[in-house]
Amino acid sequence: MNLKLKALTKSIWVFHAATSPCNNCDIEVLDLITPRYDVERFGIVLVGSVRHADALLVTGVPNYKTKERLKKLYSQAPKPCVVVAIGGCACGRIMFKESYNSPCSVDEVVPVDVYIPGCPPKPEAMIAGIAKLIKKVRGEKQCL
């Protein structure tokens, strides 16, 4: 693994894309940056633009409008960019599968690296997911 990629895994900048969620996952994501969980100790920071981001964090089921925006966001992100799907809606489509405004799931639009299910997932689960993602990027062996 090259030095640049190793350095990146120590300072993951995250852009939060909310593709029509119910806001419950977003509130749990906010918990992550409070002092109780404080993911900034791992170098994880939320940034305001996807052009500065190393990871794209997606919540909610894409609808016809947000699907296009998600595509645009991913194309604007500097590569390598990892995609994290947070919550049951982003992982699959659960109860919104038959909805009139739900054309596809997140992984049909962008390649998802980590799925963190839950409604909403606990902040601990998100940290565990990110820890596994970092190991995957570094090519280390996962201890499950």
Partner 1 sequence: MSIADEIKDKLASKVINWHEHSVKRIYFSIKPGDIREVASFLFKDLGLRFATASGIDTPGGFEILYHFSFDKSGQIISVRTIIEDKQNSEIDSLAALAPCFEWIEREMWELLGINFIGHPNLTHLLLTEEWPEGKYPLRHEHK
End-to-end Cα separation, the chain, in angstroms: 22
- The interface region with partner 1, picked from 61-69, 85-93, 107-115, 124-132 by CB under 8 A, is 61-69
Which C-beta is closer to partner 1: that of 9 or that of 63?
Answer: 63
* Shortest distance in whole angstroms from residue 67 CB to partner 1: 9
Amino acid making up residue 76: Q
97 binds partner 1 (CB under 8 A): no
100 binds partner 1 (CB under 8 A): yes
* Shortest distance in whole angstroms from residue 26 CB to partner 1: 19
98 binds partner 1 (CB under 8 A): no
65 binds partner 1 (CB under 8 A): yes
Burial of 41 by CB count in 10 Å (0-12 exposed, 13-18 middle, 19+ buried)?
exposed
Q: What angle do CA 124, 127, 130 make, to 5 degrees?
A: 150
Cis peptide bond prior to 120, omega within 30° of 0: yes
Residues 87/116, Cβ–Cβ less than 8 Å: yes
64 binds partner 1 (CB under 8 A): yes
101 binds partner 1 (CB under 8 A): yes
Phi/psi of residue 91, nearest 5 degrees: -75, -50
- The interface region with partner 1, picked from 60-68, 87-95, 111-119, 128-136 by CB under 8 A, is 60-68
**Contact set with partner 1 (CB under 8 A):** 63-65, 100-101
